[in-house]
Amino acid sequence: MSPIDHAAALLSPNSQAADGETGRWRGAYGGDGAAPLVTIVTATMNAAAALPHTIRSFREQIGPRFEWLVVDGGSTDGTVDLLRASEELASWISEPDEGIYDAWNKACRHARGEWILFLGAGDELAANNVLERMAPHLSGAHPRFDVVYGRVQNISEQGRQVLEEVGEPWEGMRRRWEIGRPALPPHSGVFHHRSVLFGEQPFDTRFRLAGDAHLLLQHVIRKAPLFVPIIVDRTPVGGVSMQFGNVIELYREIEEIDRELGLVPPFWHHVADQVALAGKVAASLLPATMGHIVADTYRVIAGKPRRWLVR
C-alpha cells in the first residue's frame, strides 16, 4: 500500500483519527511541520461535480506554502473519494454538521496558517500565482490590519464565464450600505488573520446565511481592512445566500445582526431595501426561469451585468 493509500484508509469517514475529530497526512503543503502563511478552508456537501475545479486550482499554485482543510458534511456523491485521492489536502473530515458555519468553525480549530481564506467547492484561485502575489501584502500586515482583501470574479456555474468583478478600496465602501447592512468586502477574497478566528465558535451558527457578515462587521467597524488590487478568487454564483427562496431569511438575519451591533440603516436605504425585498420575494414565487428573467432584467436596468441567465 502506498503512503497516500495508507493515509486515505486512515482518513476515511469510518476511521477514528488520533485527535478524535480530524485526520492528517503528509501532503504537498506543511509536511515538514512549519506553519504555512495561508490556510484555505472549504466546506463541502455533495460537491463532486464542482470540486475538481478547486483541486486543479490548488495543484497549479506556485509560491508560498499553504494548507487546504476540508470539512465535508457527509457527502454520498463521490466527494469523499475526491478528498481521499487529493494530494493537495492537508487535512479533512466527513461527518454530519449543522451548516457551513459549523463546518468552518471545525476547520478553524485546526488551521495553522497566519491568514485564513474561506473558499467554496467550485471556487478557484484566479491565477496560479495569487498567493505568491498576496504574500508580500500579508506578511507584516498584522497587527495594523486584521483583515486583508482583494477582488473576486463572479462566474457562471456551467460555462464559468466571468459575469462581474467585485471588491474595491475600503475608502469607497466604508460609508455605503448594501442589503440592509454596511458594505463589506467579497468574502471569498478576504484573508482573516488567525486572531480574528479565536475561540470555539468564531462564526455564530445562529445565522445560517449571514454568519460571515456578522463576523466581518464586528472587525471592520473597529479597524479598517487593507485592500490589495489583486483578483483572488473566481466564484460561481448561486450560493445558498443568493437563492431567491432564502431572501426573507437572509434579510431577517441581517436585521438581527444590525440590532446586535447597534447599526441603523439610513432611512433612504431602508426604504430601497424594502422595495428590493418585495421584488425578490415576488421573483421567488415565479417558476425558476421566469424569476431569473425578472432578476436579470432588473440588474440590466440598474446598470449591472446579467447574472442568472448566463450559463
The model's pLDDT over 114-127, given as tens digits with 9 standing for 90+, comes to 999 999 999 999 99
Cell numbers of 202, please? 468564531
What is the pLDDT of the chain when averaged over all its residues?
86
Residue 242's contacts (CB-CB under 8 Å, 6 or more residues apart) are none
Least confident of 53-67, 255-269, 271-285: 271-285
What tens digit of pLDDT does each residue of 103-115 get?
999 999 999 999 9
Could you give the CA distance from residue 244 to residue 218 in angstroms, rounded to a whole number? Answer: 27
Bridge partner residues of 153 (DSSP) = 165, 234
Residues 268-281: what's their mean pLDDT?
A: 85
pLDDT range class, residue 277, cuts 50, 70, 90: confident
Least confident of 155-164, 174-183, 283-292: 283-292
Amino acid at 157: E
Question: What is the structure's pLDDT at 143?
Answer: 96
Question: What is the structure's pLDDT at 247?
Answer: 84
The DSSP element (H or E) to which 130 belongs, if any, is: helix 130-138
3.90.76.10, 1.10.486.10, 3.90.550.10, 3.40.50.1240: CATH of 3-239: 3.90.550.10
* E runs forming strands in the chain: 23-24, 38-44, 66-72, 91-94, 115-118, 124-125, 147-155, 162-166, 177-178, 181-182, 190-193, 226-236
Which residue would you say has higher pLDDT here, 214 or 295? 214
Question: What is the structure's pLDDT at 33?
Answer: 63
Give the residue extent of every domain in the chain: 3-239
User: Does the pLDDT of residue 249 top 70, yes or no?
Assistant: yes
User: Which residue from 172, 139, 126 is spatially nearest to 35, judged by alpha carbons?
Assistant: 139
- H helical segments located in 225-264: 247-261
What tens digit of pLDDT does each residue of 5-43 get?
323 332 333 333 333 334 433 333 344 567 899 999 999
Cell numbers of 183, please? 458594505
Cell numbers of 28, please? 504537498
User: In this structure, what are the phi and psi dihedrals at residue 301, rounded to the nearest 5 degrees?
Assistant: -60, -35
What tens digit of pLDDT does each residue of 173-202 get?
999 999 999 999 999 999 999 999 988 899
User: Does the pLDDT of residue 259 top 60, yes or no?
Assistant: yes
Question: What is the structure's pLDDT at 131?
Answer: 97
Could you give the CA distance from residue 250 to residue 276 in angstroms, rounded to a whole number? Answer: 13
Question: What is the structure's pLDDT at 243?
Answer: 61
Question: What is the structure's pLDDT at 173?
Answer: 94
Question: What is the structure's pLDDT at 18?
Answer: 31
Sign of the torsion formed by the C-alpha atoms of 120, 126, 131 and 137 = negative
Cell numbers of 67, please? 494548507
Least confident of 43-52, 197-206, 232-241, 273-282: 232-241
Could you give the CA distance from residue 68 to residue 92 in angstroms, rounded to a whole number? Answer: 9
Could you give the CA distance from residue 87 to residue 84 in angstroms, rounded to a whole number? Answer: 8
